[in-house]
Amino acid sequence: MTGQPAPAQGRVAVISGGSRGLGRIMVERLLAEGWKVATFSRSANEFVKDTLAERSEDFVWEAVDLSDRKALRQFVSATARRFGGVDLLINNAAVLNRQELFLTTSAGQVDTLIASNLAAPIALAQACARVMSTRQGGQIINVSSINAIRGYRGVAVYAATKAGLDGFSRSLARELGPLNIRVNSIVPGFFDSDMTTDVTDQNRERIQRRTPLGRLADVEEIANAVHFLISDQASFITGQTIVVDGGITC
Ligand SMILES: NC(=O)c1ccc[n+]([C@@H]2O[C@H](COP(=O)([O-])OP(=O)(O)OC[C@H]3O[C@@H](n4cnc5c(N)ncnc54)[C@H](OP(=O)(O)O)[C@@H]3O)[C@@H](O)[C@H]2O)c1
């Protein structure tokens, strides 16, 4: 074990929710750098179909739901068998139900949020870390949210799952550091994606007004931070939550 990152060529990434939004950008960037990439989502879109057709040697996609932990573990095992290991996990996929006040949130919605946004990333991290621990190390990036560090109406349970993920990252970094596995959280501010189509123009303007940089993030700017953590430049960073929010939480 040298502590030095392996060259990107041939390294293996597992990315949850790589069909759209931030996950898709990370799939595209890592494939372009020579990584082998395995991703899943509930459904395939044109991007997934085209990439499967064009990059069948390096790209795997399966239909898996975050709530099915057995399927998540099988997905990781199949990836490790197919590509010979796992070097990186990006816990990117999450669900955000239509924003709803806590007093009317059903027990079923609470269960779904906790299963998808917290239990699933934990299960994926455990499956991937077991593979990484038998090799030269690796890294795990958990995609959190500013909802984990500031209160917002209508997202209490989502916020709880993301705050849980940040705590998970810190303690896991302590436990896995000696195995040369780095663990960090990325905390994005608001960016446009399918997850945020419900946000009203009024709320969008309010977010913009409260953001020191005076605008929303471009998803590419969030991907830049994820990309930095993956890069050799971040080889001594672990156990951190990196906030990328234009200053809205400062
Ligand atoms: N957008 C924002 O403003 C914002 C702000 C802060 C943090 N974040 C976080 O950033 C991450 C990416 O968000 P995004 O906006 O890029 O999301 P997005 O555009 O909604 O994409 C989510 C991805 O996850 C997959 N997915 C969703 N639910 C799933 C499930 N139950 N099982 C399997 N796959 C599932 C989706 O595919 P299918 O629907 O086909 O399953 C899709 O590939 C999330 O962790 C989110 O919480 C986003």
Does residue 19's CB lie within 6 angstroms of at least one atom of ligand 1? yes
- pLDDT above 90 coverage of the chain, percent: 88
Ligand 1 pocket mutation, candidates 193, 199, 248, criterion most atoms within 8 A of CB: 193
Average pLDDT over residues 88-111: 92
CATH number for 12-244: choose from 3.20.10.10, 3.40.720.10, 3.40.50.720, 3.40.640.10: 3.40.50.720
Instruction: Report the distance separating Cα 230 and Cα 128, nearest Å.
Output: 16
Structure confidence at residue 7 (pLDDT)? 59
Ligand 1 pocket mutation, candidates 26, 37, 41, criterion most atoms within 8 A of CB: 41
Instruction: Tokens for 175, please give them.
Output: 């436990």
Confidence of residue 5 (pLDDT cuts 50, 70, 90): very low
Active-site amino acid positions: 158
Give me the chain's average pLDDT, please.
94
Structure confidence at residue 65 (pLDDT)? 98
Confidence of residue 8 (pLDDT cuts 50, 70, 90): confident
Sign of the C-alpha dihedral, residues 39, 41, 43, 48?
negative
Does residue 31's CB lie within 6 angstroms of at least one atom of ligand 1? no
Are the C-beta atoms of residues 131 and 80 closer than 8 Å to each other? yes
Instruction: Report the distance separating Cα 248 and Cα 250, nearest Å.
Output: 6
Atom of ligand 1 nearest to the CA of 45: 40
Atom of ligand 1 nearest to the CA of 41: 34
Confidence of residue 233 (pLDDT cuts 50, 70, 90): very high
pLDDT at 93 over 70: yes
Instruction: Tokens for 199, please give them.
Output: 């946000």
Does residue 184's CB lie within 6 angstroms of at least one atom of ligand 1? no
Give the residue from 113, 122, 117, 18 showing the smallest Cα distance to 62: 18
Q: Which distant-in-sequence residues (6+ apart) come within 8 Å of 56 by Cβ? A: none
Are the C-beta atoms of residues 61 and 24 closer than 8 Å to each other? no
Average pLDDT over residues 137-162: 96
